[in-house]
Amino acid sequence: MERFILNFLPRTVGLLILIGMLSGCTTLSPQSRATTQSFDHSEALAPDPEPLAVDITPEPPADLWDRIRRELEWSYPDHPSVIAQREHYLKQAGLFDALSERANWYLYYIVEQVEARELPIELALLPIVESTLLPQSMSHRSAAGLWQIMPRTGKHLGLQQNWWYDGRLDIRDSTRAALDYLESLHSRFDGDWLLALSAYNAGETRVKRAQRANSKRGLPTDYWSLKLPRETQHYLPRLLALAQIIKDPQTHAVTLPSVANTNAFAAINVTGQVEIRTFAEQLGVDEYVLRRFNPGILRWATDPNGSSQILVPSDIAGTAMTVAESLPSLPKTQWHRYTIQPGDSLIRIAKRFDLEVSLLRAANDITGSFIRAGHTLMIPTGGDSAIVADGSRVYRASMRYTVKPGDSLYKIADRFSITISDLVAWNAIDPKAYLRPGQRLTLFPSES
């Protein structure tokens, strides 16, 4: 045992010394380590530098169709009705050229409004289905504008409609009202966009009635299972077919001319009633251009009691603001409501108020001579037919004309002793486009 202890001691002492040396190394303070090592720890102990910021936001597309294409999300089934509507589009020569030209005026604004509400981008294509992007469009049922809003629906949605102005035709007002209405329908149909769109076309009551009929028979109540009016059966497939084509134009052998991904117009504040032609002349643009941006203005001037803004091309917004500040306001026209008496005629009433018969017809949207006792007429006083703003121009009342089968720009211009260029400017129409029976035109006929 003693020998074992003696033999063991040297090894044990050596091991203890070695452990002590190692322990001493691990208990050195940071200051001690700094003095025993040759490199500086300050850089090693500093926090990691922030990584360089890399902007991975993709560049916005220059083409508006491309912007829309990137956001299309709905599934587009090859349902027989969708295929039929797709073929209907593809058979129309020049359709997408015309749509792209019109899109340059209005579609960017619509896309912006749809995105701002975080709605499906497919809704931005609805005005193409409704009106082919022609804000002057009017259906046989009197639905009007880009979004084809009925008069009663427009009033319910807060759109102003009077002799001077129709908010259903206005780009901004109609878009606001249509999207409000679509959001409301989307909520009423429990988040089903197909049913909401069907209700937009056919009416909420009719769609719910079709759902109740299917429920009683134990049938599904989704859009594809409902028995709806023929027009509504084509309506949604038309939208889906259009989205298919825009999503993949190459597959469908369609060329979509580029549409600028920028706003085409700016809103300019004006004071009082402004005559459109005078404003256009001072801006150095065609009256046609202002009419096309402001289709809600039905007459020769803005509504004296209406909006204080006019839309102008965005590239001349600065000039337009300067011009608007010095633009003279027209004398304000007063209106008198007259109740038709037994034995009255338009000629007799016009003489009584010292008016031209044509002015009386235009002010009350009368195309013939028939009037009924007990009805009322609006009588302009203050001189619609005798207001002279600049010493040279006499302002005339406008009238609304309904295009008949066989009509042409030439025939209408000749009938009312006006020029084709004026007819095009007053209605912001494409002179190369065909007039459609039932289409409503604004005219300023000669008083002679």
In a domain, 48, yes or no: no
Residues 96 and 193 in one domain: yes
Residues 100 and 179 in one domain: yes
**Active site members:** 130
Given a contact cutoff of 8 angstroms between Cβ atoms, the answer to whether 300 and 287 are in contact is: no
Six-digit token pair at 136? 């002057």
Six-digit token pair at 129? 């289905």
Q: Which of 283, 307, 325 is the last residue of a domain?
A: 325
Rounded CA gap, 364 and 348, in Å?
16
Task: Give me the domain span that covers residue 182.
Answer: 64-247
Q: Which of 307, 325, 343 is the last residue of a domain?
A: 325
pLDDT in the model for residue 142: 87
pLDDT in tens, the chain (448 residues): 444 343 444 444 444 443 444 444 443 333 333 333 333 434 434 455 566 655 566 788 999 999 999 999 997 778 999 999 999 999 998 999 999 999 999 999 999 999 999 999 999 999 999 999 999 888 888 899 999 999 999 999 999 998 789 999 999 999 999 999 999 999 999 999 999 999 999 999 999 999 999 999 999 999 999 999 999 999 999 999 999 999 999 999 999 999 999 999 999 999 888 889 889 999 999 998 999 999 999 888 888 887 789 999 999 999 999 999 888 766 655 667 789 999 999 999 988 877 778 778 877 778 788 899 999 888 876 533 333 233 333 345 556 788 888 888 878 887 777 878 778 777 777 766 778 888 878 776 654 4
What contacts 410, CB < 8 A, 6 or more positions away? 420
Angle between helices 230-247 and 64-71 (to 10 degrees): 110
Residues 285 and 400 in one domain: no
Residues 366 and 383 in one domain: yes
Q: What is the chain's length?
A: 448
Six-digit token pair at 39? 């490199």
In a domain, 181, yes or no: yes
Residues 113 and 204 in one domain: yes
SS3 for 32? Answer: helix
DSSP string, 225-242: GS---HHHHHHHHHHHHH
Rounded CA gap, 356 and 351, in Å?
8
Q: Does pTM top 0.85 for this prediction?
A: no
What contacts 4, CB < 8 A, 6 or more positions away? none
In a domain, 121, yes or no: yes
DSSP string, 54-92: ---PPPPPSBHHHHHHHH--S-----HHHHHHHHHHHTS
For residue 343, the one-letter residue type is G
pLDDT in the model for residue 366: 82
In a domain, 198, yes or no: yes
Residues 105 and 211 in one domain: yes
Residues 315 and 378 in one domain: no
Return the closest-CA partner of residue 276 out of 145, 156, 165: 165
Strand partners, 442: 400
Residues 207 and 355 in one domain: no
Scan for tokens 């008198």, then name that residue.
336
In a domain, 228, yes or no: yes
Residues 203 and 86 in one domain: yes
Scan for tokens 């074992």, then name that residue.
4
Rounded CA gap, 105 and 119, in Å?
21
Proportion of the chain in helix, strand, coil states, percent, rounded to 5:
45, 10, 45
3-state secondary structure 418-441: CCHHHHHHHHCCCCCCCCCCCCEE
Residues 321 and 343 in one domain: no
Q: How far is CA 25 from the centre of its chain?
A: 77
Residues 106 and 146 in one domain: yes
The CATH number for 72's domain is 1.10.530.10
Return the closest-CA partner of residue 361 out of 374, 375, 350: 350
Q: Which of 247, 274, 301 is the last residue of a domain?
A: 247
Rounded CA gap, 90 and 86, in Å?
6
In a domain, 255, yes or no: no
Rounded CA gap, 160 and 154, in Å?
8
Residues 103 and 172 in one domain: yes
Return the closest-CA partner of residue 310 out of 331, 287, 332, 333: 287
Number of domains in the chain: 3
In a domain, 298, yes or no: yes
The backbone torsions φ and ψ at residue 309, rounded to the nearest 5 degrees and listed phi first, read -130, 150
Q: Kindly provide the b/e burial profile for residues 208-230, where b requires at least 16 CB atoms within 10 angstroms of the residue's own CB.
A: eebbeebeeeeeebebeebebee
In a domain, 435, yes or no: yes
